[in-house]
């Protein structure tokens, strides 16, 4: 049994502006750094064996802040943990998208990463983690769109929101016969 702790990165200026980030490498803002410090303090006393992170700076910096509180933990970057590719909408707000492409912009071919590709890279990562770290506790620092889709693919018999909060913690236990979500989208450290 492997335990996975998913953590979404801290907030960015683009999050606050409602801009689609996707693969655009947007850094944490000051509040995002404070949020990362709060989640790091929250899980400081928990025992984690390894941290994997997206290479995008907002997730990587969040993971680095967490790692500073976890003595001697292995720290690995995996590109499969990157955010969903947003195509040509990256950097735009909902208002700008509607003005440019109309209210049905989601139905257009705008270069979004296909759902199958997102799930494929996520499940490939999870299978590798399960095999590489049996019986271990693995922290995964990534992005809201990616984490939301991956959780729903891992536990399809339950309905989970795809709206994942900044620095939220989700804990999933990977058992041989099933996967159990013990904690979902928890942000109590921000209260």
Check the annotation: does 111 bind a ligand.
no
Classify residue 71 as exposed, middle or buried by CB count within 10 Å of its CB (0-12, 13-18, 19+). Answer: exposed
10 is in an annotated binding site: yes
Query: Does the annotation list 105 as a binding residue?
Result: no
Residue 133: active-site member? no
Consult the annotation and say whether 101 binds a ligand. no
Decide if 9 is catalytic: yes
Task: Check the annotation: does 58 bind a ligand.
Answer: yes
Consult the annotation and say whether 9 binds a ligand.
Answer: yes
How would you classify the pairing of strands 179-186 and 169-174?
Answer: antiparallel
Report yes or no: 135 and 2 within 8 Å, Cβ to Cβ: yes
8 assigned ligand-binding residue: yes
Which residue in 47, 64, 68, 83 is the catalytic one? 83
Residues in the annotated binding site:
8-15, 58
Extract the annotated binding site for substrate: 8-15, 58
Residues tagged active-site: 9, 83
């Amino acid at each position: 049994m492997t335990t996975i702790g998913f953590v979404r990165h801290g907030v960015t200026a683009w999050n606050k502006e409602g801009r689609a980030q996707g693969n655009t490498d947007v850094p944490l803002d000051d509040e995002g750094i404070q949020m990362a410090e709060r989640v790091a303090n929250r899980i400081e006393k928990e025992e984690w064996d390894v941290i994997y992170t997206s290479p995008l700076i907002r997730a990587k910096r969040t993971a680095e802040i967490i790692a500073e509180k976890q003595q001697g933990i292995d720290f690995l970057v995996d590109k499969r943990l990157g955010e969903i590719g947003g195509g040509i909408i990256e950097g735009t707000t909902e208002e700008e998208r509607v003005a440019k492409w109309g209210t049905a912009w989601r139905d257009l071919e705008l270069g979004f990463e296909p759902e199958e590709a997102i799930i494929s890279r996520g499940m490939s990562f999870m299978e590798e983690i399960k095999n590489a770290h049996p019986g271990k506790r693995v922290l995964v620092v990534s992005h809201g769109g990616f984490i939301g889709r991956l959780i729903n693919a891992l536990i399809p018999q339950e309905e989970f929101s795809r709206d994942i909060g900044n620095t939220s913690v989700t804990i999933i236990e990977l058992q041989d016969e099933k996967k159990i979500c013990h904690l979902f989208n928890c942000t109590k450290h921000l209260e």
